Structure 1
Amino acid sequence: MQCSYFDADRCRSCTLLGRSYADQLAGKEEHCRTLLADFPALEWLPPVASRESGFRNKAKMAVAGTAEDPQLGILDGGGRGVDLRECGLYPASLHATFPVLAEFVGRARLTPYDVPRRRGQLKNLLVTESPDGELMVRFVLRTDESVVRIRKHLPWLRQALPKLAVASANILPEHKAVLEGEREIVLTDQQTLRMGVDGVDLHLRPQSFFQTNTDVAAALYRQARAWVDELAPASLWDLYCGVGGFALHCADGDRNVTGIEVSREAIASAELTRAQAGLGRVRFEAGDATAFALAAEQAPELVIVNPPRRGIGPDLAGWLESSSVRSVIYSSCNAVSLARDLAAMPSLRPRRARVLDMFPQTAHYEALVLLERAPGGAGQRPPATRTTAPLT
């Protein structure tokens, strides 16, 4: 991928841009293989490649400049704006939204936040596109003072962006390097963006997490589902479930599935999909994944974990090691913490692994590993039993 911003040294976020894509993908798999070298019996499936450009479904644009001439992109080391509207990571459909949003900033008189001076209102614009081309636009503001003007001009924005489905204002009063605040004001009747992935309609609320590469996310869910279908567990937990991607893809009529996620927004999204699909054996609960596992009276036959970069940590790894869980599917965005967690679960042996390139042009990637209980290595907790009554 050729990038004028990279060539001009205006943006160096894509740290691998100078390497061929084939070399990038091979390097990522080699990195993961090296970190998991303590498991020589591990079967490596072919890595999943991505499009080299235009693969992102979400734009996270810092806003600088003035309301009349806003800059949408990133901030440099001094807090000044670097306009990146033509970034090659975004598809043409997202590129088309940026000039419209820039004009809206002027119409609504949304003064960009000046980081060095700590003045202004509009900090970030977050734009997400569904596979069907629908849009969610979030305005990250220092205070709610500008919300009335956003509401006033929202009809113009909806006319200019006919695919706009969800718009919201996020309030971030603190002066710190974070993307969004805790308070969200939804400005449209529709509150969720429908993300259709392999026949499953996931619903994304403004503060819910979703993978930024829809095609590779679909491949990730397909691989997990194939492993689950092969093992055919009667009961399954999806820990750190987000909007329920793994849980909903792995559900069937005879399997009890429980999804746990700390974000109530994400759980509300997952519950909406579950209800629309009529999945009586699937349930979701907002809470801490480790606390849920430690408090459970029974363990399921299979657990899927999809933790943040820090990994699952010693407490959950220890619980999995001593439990009766027969299989674990570990989805990791950080192979360093993945290797550390696997070492803490010696009775659960990694059998298969696959690298999925969720983030081309960077050193980041997703790794999916299937672990199975070694013979004679079962833990102390009794397995969950198959039931016929739906969960409530």
Structure 2
Amino acid sequence: MSEAKYPVKRGGEYDFDIDKLAFGGAGIARVDNYVVFIKDTLPGDKVKARITRRKPSFAEARLLEIIKPSPMRQHPPCKYHQWCGGCTWQNLSYENQVKIKRQLVEESIQHIAGIQKSTVCPVIESDSAFAYRNKMEFSFTDKRWLLPEELGKADIKPGFALGLHVPGTFDKIIKIDHCLLQSDTANRILRSVSDFCMGKKLQAYGLKTHQGLLRFLVIRQSRYNGKIMVNIVTAYEEENILKQLALKLTEEFPEVESVVNNINSRPAQIARGEREIVLAGKSYIQEKLGDFIFNISANSFFQTNSAQAEKMYKKVLEFSELSGKEFVWDLYCGTGTFSLFLAAQAKKITGFDVEASAIQDAAENARNHQVFNAGFIEGDLLHTLASVKEKPDVIITDPPRAGMHEKVVRLILSASPRRLVYISCNPATLARDLNILSEQYAIDKVQPLDMFPQTYHIETIVQLTKRSVDFVR
């Protein structure tokens, strides 16, 4: 597009009316059908913004001023809302959040998949809009990033801090003493750890110097019994001082059942260690979903909203419509939670995953729960699906955010199960894959489920049934 044809200039400042939100949370404005994305805006806002990026089909702009706020706007309850990237939709009521999430799913299926007739069910809402997370990860820093109101205050030092990242940065950490997404007990533990480390003058790991002990604090809490695991991730071993911290936590908080130290000596800034030391109590806590009790260790993957996860598993079981005679494939099976939920109503389940550790955990979970009709295969789906002799009657697929590789989608079509259940955390890649699957499958039900209130993220469960005749567009 030539310079003259662009409706906006790079660096130009314009007034915009925000029509709706895109998946990702940015507001959408239009200038003669040319789309402009503006973060930190809501439908109904009238704003002034500066164009920062321009492409032939869209532009991005930075919010300068809210000229007239949307009627949807509310005061966010968290004092860190403007600076922390954890929950950007706190300025929307929960009622409006779920309405917009349903619209995002509907629009993706209509515009990307090209499927106009599918009905998207009302969102299955979270029982709790706050304090729903069973896991929170906080970062230590040796260079605290100060909020505007903190600048120039003599009692606030820019050094050590424990908190969360400023959005879009890896090295800017704001000090957090209370997060609304975790329980009050977890917040008290957060403050206790911070006070202990500052009192003992322990050094936070520097991202530039690669010096210092403390890297992450991870707090996990079971919805099943309220028990808590505290995982302190360090750059090297310092068992004596950390055992003092573990003793303090177990004496101060009876809910703390496990304190562990993961040691990550590598430069990569991840909250996972090469080895682990149990400082106090057990090496795991337990969580219950349905009739199943799972041991959750420090590095285990587990859905972070336990209550919603249980609703999701039950909905997948409902959409599978099993009679006890079916062979089921569970793609991207992880630790096998879907397989366990479905096993009692299927003849045989085979789970597939590329991660060896996940397959090992899945097999162990099946043994622990005496599930004998589930087996698990490690490897790339492009190679492993062909190794199974029994053709599936039902396929469950729960791919990562990027969706399925097109060749995997084609393998599913070749396997020709009578029913598919697709679980997705990204409406756009879901719609892309549905566009291909709809060649042979009809979409029966589309069920959004809100796993992460206060954010734009949405899970979607789709039931598809094999057509008697292939669909011609």
Match of 2:165 in 1: 75
Query: Deviation of residue 151 (structure 1)?
Result: 4.6
8 Å contact 1:28–1:363 — kept in the other structure? yes
> Deviation digits for residues 341-389 of structure 1, max 9, x if unmatched?
12222213321111111111111111111111111459xxxxxxxxxxx
Residues 39 and 232 of structure 1, relative CA distance in 2, 3 Å threshold = farther
Residues 294 and 52 of structure 1, relative CA distance in 2, 3 Å threshold = same
Read off the aligned partner of 2:467 and give its amino acid letter.
A
Which structure carries more helix by proportion?
A: 1
Query: Deviation of residue 13 (structure 1)?
Result: 3.4
Read off the aligned partner of 1:88 and give its amino acid letter.
L
Match of 1:373 in 2: 466
Query: Deviation of residue 336 (structure 1)?
Result: 1.0
> Deviation digits for residues 147-187 of structure 1, max 9, x if unmatched?
454356534433333333344333333434x4334623141
- 1:1-392 matches, within 5 Å, as 2-6=77-81, 9-37=82-110, 38-50=114-126, 51-65=128-142, 71-76=161-166, 77=169, 79-105=171-197, 110-131=202-223, 132-142=225-235, 144-147=236-239, 149-151=241-243, 153-176=245-268, 178-181=269-272, 183-187=274-278, 190-230=282-322, 234-252=326-344, 255-345=347-437, 346-376=439-469
Residues 311 and 343 of structure 1, relative CA distance in 2, 3 Å threshold = same
Distance of 1:243 and 1:78 partners within structure 2:
29
Distance of 2:310 and 2:407 partners within structure 1:
30
Query: Deviation of residue 189 (structure 1)?
Result: 6.7
Distance of 2:324 and 2:444 partners within structure 1:
16
Q: 2:434 aligns to what SS in structure 1?
A: helix
Residues 146 and 309 of structure 1, relative CA distance in 2, 3 Å threshold = same
Q: 1:138 aligns to what SS in structure 2?
A: strand
Distance of 2:364 and 2:395 partners within structure 1:
22
> Deviation digits for residues 298-326 of structure 1, max 9, x if unmatched?
33211111111111111211100111322
Read off the aligned partner of 1:52 and give its amino acid letter.
A
Distance of 1:334 and 1:352 partners within structure 2:
17
TM-score by length of 2: 0.72
Q: 2:299 aligns to what SS in structure 1?
A: coil
Distance of 1:310 and 1:168 partners within structure 2:
33
Stretch moving more, 277-286 or 216-225: 277-286
8 Å contact 1:347–1:377 — kept in the other structure? yes
Distance of 1:289 and 1:121 partners within structure 2:
40
Stretch moving more, 233-242 or 210-219: 233-242
Residues 324 and 128 of structure 1, relative CA distance in 2, 3 Å threshold = same
Distance of 2:257 and 2:142 partners within structure 1:
27
Distance of 1:355 and 1:32 partners within structure 2:
8
8 Å contact 1:104–1:157 — kept in the other structure? no
Q: 2:312 aligns to what SS in structure 1?
A: helix
Stretch moving more, 185-194 or 363-372: 185-194
8 Å contact 1:65–1:81 — kept in the other structure? no
> Deviation digits for residues 53-76 of structure 1, max 9, x if unmatched?
11111111011249x995322134
Highest RCO, 1 vs 2 (Cα 8 Å, sep ≥ 6):
1
Identity %: 24
Stretch moving more, 227-236 or 296-305: 227-236
Query: Deviation of residue 221 (structure 1)?
Result: 0.7
Read off the aligned partner of 2:124 and give its amino acid letter.
V
Read off the aligned partner of 1:183 and give its amino acid letter.
E
Query: Deviation of residue 254 (structure 1)?
Result: 5.0
Query: Deviation of residue 230 (structure 1)?
Result: 5.0
Distance of 1:289 and 1:206 partners within structure 2:
28
Alpha-carbon RMSD: 2.8
8 Å contact 1:202–1:270 — kept in the other structure? no
Residues 301 and 104 of structure 1, relative CA distance in 2, 3 Å threshold = farther
Query: Deviation of residue 253 (structure 1)?
Result: 6.1
Distance of 1:254 and 1:308 partners within structure 2:
25
8 Å contact 1:107–1:153 — kept in the other structure? no
Q: 2:237 aligns to what SS in structure 1?
A: helix
8 Å contact 1:110–1:146 — kept in the other structure? no
Stretch moving more, 192-201 or 167-176: 167-176
Stretch moving more, 161-170 or 344-353: 161-170
Q: 1:308 aligns to what SS in structure 2?
A: coil
